[in-house]
Structure formats: C-alpha cells, structure tokens
Amino acid sequence: MATKKSYNYDQYQVRKTKRWVNVVVTIVLVIWAVINLYPLYWMLAFSLKDNDQILVTNRFGLPKGLPSEWIWSNYKEAMNTGPIGKFFLNSIIITGATIILTTLAAMMASYAITRIRWRGSEAMNRIFMLGITIPIQASIIPVYLVVSKLQLINTPIALIIPYSAFALAMALLICTGFMTQIPKELDEAAYIDGCGRSKVFFTVILPLMKPAVATTAIYTFLQCWNELMFAQTFMTGLKSMTLPAGMAQLFGSHTTQWGPIGAALVIATFPTILFYVLFSRRIQDSFIAGAVKG
C-alpha cells in the first residue's frame, strides 16, 4: 500500500505516536510471535525423541543432543500405520467437500434470510442458530443411526454431511454478518435492470463475499481437519480412514510411545501449515478485496 498518498499519512503518524510506544509495541509483538511459534518447534523436537526424553529428561525439546541422536525411526513408525497417502487423500476429499458444501449452503441461506424480506426470516435464522448449540459429543449415536439408516457408513459422505451440518450455523452467522453490510442499493439497482433473484445472488452478491468465503472456509477447515470422534466411529477399515483417525492408531491402551505420535502430528500438520503459508497472502488479500463500503 505504499502509494504516493501515504506520504501525508506517515507524517501524521510520526507526529502522533511516541517513539518509545513503538518500541514497546514491537517488543510485545515479537515476544507474542515467539510464543506462537514455539509449539511448532516443540512439535518438531519431540517427533525426534523417545519417551524418556519427552517425559523425563528434556521436556521442552531444548537442543541438547546431537543430530545423530535424533530418532528418525519415529517417522518410519508413523508412516507404517497404514496407507498414509490414502489417509491424506481421504482427509482432503472430505474436508474439501465439506468446505464447499458448507459455504454454498450458508451463502444461499443467508441470501434468502438477509436480502429477501419475508415473514419468518428472523425465526428461520434463529432455528439455524440452534446448530451452534449442539454439543458434538452428544450427537455421535443419533447421527450414527441416521447415517447408518441411509446406508452411508464407511463412505466419505458419512462424514461430509455431518461435518457440513455442524459447521453450518457458524458459517451462516459469518455469512449473514458480511451480507448485511453490503448496501441494499446494489441489489435494487440490479432489480431495476431486470435481474432475477438468482442472477443478483450470483453476479452481484457472491463476488462481494470473498472475505466471507475465506473466513467460512477457514472456520470449516479447522472444524473438520482434525476431527476424530466422528471419523473413527463412522469409518471402518484402513482404506477409508482420515489422517487423524489413522494417526490415532498410535495411541496404545496402557502406554503410548510419544515419539511416533509427534512424527505423525508433524506429518498431519505440516501440509496445513505449508498450505497456509503459501496461500495466506491470498486469504489475506481476499479480506481486503471485499472492502466495498457505501
């Protein structure tokens, strides 16, 4: 944003903000960033250690030992849990489809609720809000019964639909929030031009909803990428496991070897982080792209 105009801007900023305030703010931000980066480092560190080091001698993953003492076999063990590529693919398909389904359903519903006036729209919105309130732990058996009646157990749909349903309410909340901020005049102009409802939705509203799409997608992703309970209950067999379900096989019933779990978590987390790092600029840009203000 370093345009010519910002010259003025900087001048004012320099005059108004004291130097020491900036220094303090910078220090605080750096410390905060370090705190937030540390778990990542720690996860890497403990993926290369054994139980004795993780639990007793070196709990914080300090760089004590030589690289030759790193236990790379943890990774081998984590990879041995099964077809890890297939786990990945399952997770990507399920999460991807959930994001698309949730976003689409939430966008459409929030259009009907916020842009068309009808009696009961408010009540409808509230009913949908019930979705935020349901504790997912209490839903396993009832949802299992629905899914198994539909003969969907062990298919990706068995997870996509419940995940979407549980993410829906929050997605709807985000979407309606963004949508009410779009000035009504925009649709009205389009109606005058003779556009129908659906055309307005697709050509006028949707393009302005990029930040909502990004926010909803991130939320939905976080909800289902690491989800374990449904994934383990509704899916059976190595072929249909998601990544977290596959990795959960590393937890033993009396003792757990934490090293391989660390390795598994690194394997499961790093693609996410890589993806985020690669696309964060895009995601962040999409926030700014939505800036249309009346």
Three-state helix/strand/coil letters over 117-130: CCCCHHHHHHHHHH
| Closer CB to other proteins, 72 or 222, in the complex | 222
| Closer CB to other proteins, 20 or 118, in the complex | 118
- Provide the minimum distance between the beta carbon of 277 and other proteins in the complex, in angstroms, as a whole number: 6
| Closer CB to other proteins, 64 or 284, in the complex | 284
Nearest to 222 by CA among 157, 286, 171: 171
Give me 102's structure tokens.
């949730």
| Closer CB to other proteins, 70 or 104, in the complex | 104
| Closer CB to other proteins, 71 or 260, in the complex | 260
| Closer CB to other proteins, 72 or 284, in the complex | 284
Q: Are 224 and 183 in contact (CB under 8 A)?
A: no
Nearest to 219 by CA among 271, 174, 269: 174
Cα R_g (the chain), whole angstroms: 24
- Provide the minimum distance between the beta carbon of 97 and other proteins in the complex, in angstroms, as a whole number: 5
- Provide the minimum distance between the beta carbon of 29 and other proteins in the complex, in angstroms, as a whole number: 6
Nearest to 77 by CA among 52, 39, 43, 47: 47
Nearest to 290 by CA among 182, 213, 186, 211: 211
- Provide the minimum distance between the beta carbon of 35 and other proteins in the complex, in angstroms, as a whole number: 8
The DSSP letter of residue 182 is S
- Provide the minimum distance between the beta carbon of 48 and other proteins in the complex, in angstroms, as a whole number: 14
CA–CA gap between residue 221 and residue 241 (Å, rounded): 17
Range list of H helices, the chain: 6-16, 19-46, 51-52, 73-79, 84-114, 121-133, 140-149, 157-180, 184-192, 197-199, 206-208, 210-225, 229-234, 243-248, 258-289
- Provide the minimum distance between the beta carbon of 66 and other proteins in the complex, in angstroms, as a whole number: 20
| Closer CB to other proteins, 70 or 146, in the complex | 146
- Provide the minimum distance between the beta carbon of 75 and other proteins in the complex, in angstroms, as a whole number: 14
3: amino acid identity, one letter: T
